[in-house]
Amino acid sequence: MIAVYGAGGIGCYVGGRLAAAGAPVTFVGRPRVAAELAANGLRLTDYLGADLRVPDVRFETTPAGAAGAELVLVTVKSAATEGAADELAEVLTPGTVVVSFQNGVRNGELLRSRLTEQVVITGMVPFNVLNRGAGVFHQGTEGALDVQRDAALAPYLSAFERAGLPLTQHDDILPVQWAKLLLNLNNPINALSDLPLRDELSQRSYRRCLAAAQAETLGILDAAGIRPAQLLAIPMHRFPAVLRLPDFLFRRLASKVLAVDPLARTSMWEDLEAGRPTEIDYLNGEVVRLARSVGRAAPVNERLVDLIHAAETDRRSWSGPDLLRELQR
């Protein structure tokens, strides 16, 4: 059995694709999601036109739902990782394979420190998933699942292949995580814009905000001796320059840079819409933390952290020019 622990957008989509391909999957999550799937079933769509249904969903709302699983996919929000690790430690048997499919760069380490009798593997989900409601979860951007290479994954590789979500294994996952985090620096910009992802990225002023956050981060990564992996056709160190291009030039390159459909939104936008705390401290906040560790400052990312924390209690939408001016102060 495969258990998805923390079945929100990413968990329901990845677990749903596995279940649609015939894998035995148990979802563990909040009663609100359990009720939604009980009423509607689970439907998975993507930007390429896939439309899959899982009518009979096994959903549990307590940690005991993961007991007996051979593979556990942890998809809780980063702030909930410590609690999830303690809960899983109570129900998992020694040797259970646990994969962290979470944002940020430290969740795998935290799980490993608490789940000492299990095999903990760091993974990364590069694509965006939108919860459209009524049990529908939509993959709005391209990408395959990335994981740290580990022999313990061998029995499960075929299941992910059948689900259309093959696992790309890496000898060193940290550069991949930082490359994904560089892309996720757009999450607060998208959330503050209150626009679909494609509409936001079509406006140069918003892209310049992202370019500023990425350029600042790349300098800090250089100082820390971390070289992010290349996830897209364009190397990450050139990405800020592409983002700064005039709109007509960026549109010519956009299809080669990143496939984004009109439905795509970020999870941070969803969190603000729902009145939930965001993961900003584990995205742009990680840049601020790394900067301090190498004696550097990260004013652009630090300001984005502050703006999102303010939006968690007092939501407002920012135009591209207004946000750019705010970050240029």
Cα–Cα distance, 86 to 77 (Å, whole number): 15
> What token pair was written down for 69?
């699983």
Domain boundaries, the chain: 2-171, 176-328
Direct distance between the N- and C-terminal alpha carbons of the chain, in angstroms, rounded to an integer: 53
Amino acid 128: pLDDT: 87
Q: pLDDT of 101-146, one tens digit each?
A: 999 999 999 999 999 999 999 999 988 898 888 999 999 888 889 9
Q: Judge whether 57 and 83 are in contact, CB under 8 Å.
A: no
Please, what CATH class does the domain formed by 176-328 belong to?
mainly alpha
Domain 2-171, CATH number (from 3.40.50.720, 3.40.50.300, 3.30.70.1140, 3.30.420.40)? 3.40.50.720
| Percent over 70 (pLDDT), the chain | 98
Amino acid 287: pLDDT: 98
Q: pLDDT of 56-100, one tens digit each?
A: 899 999 999 999 999 999 999 999 999 999 999 999 999 999 999
| Percent over 90 (pLDDT), the chain | 85
Strands 167-170 and 129-133 turn out to be unpaired
CA distances from 10 to 21, 27, 131, 326 (A): 17, 12, 9, 32
| β partners of residue 4 | 27, 73
Low-confidence ranges of the chain (pLDDT < 70): 254-259
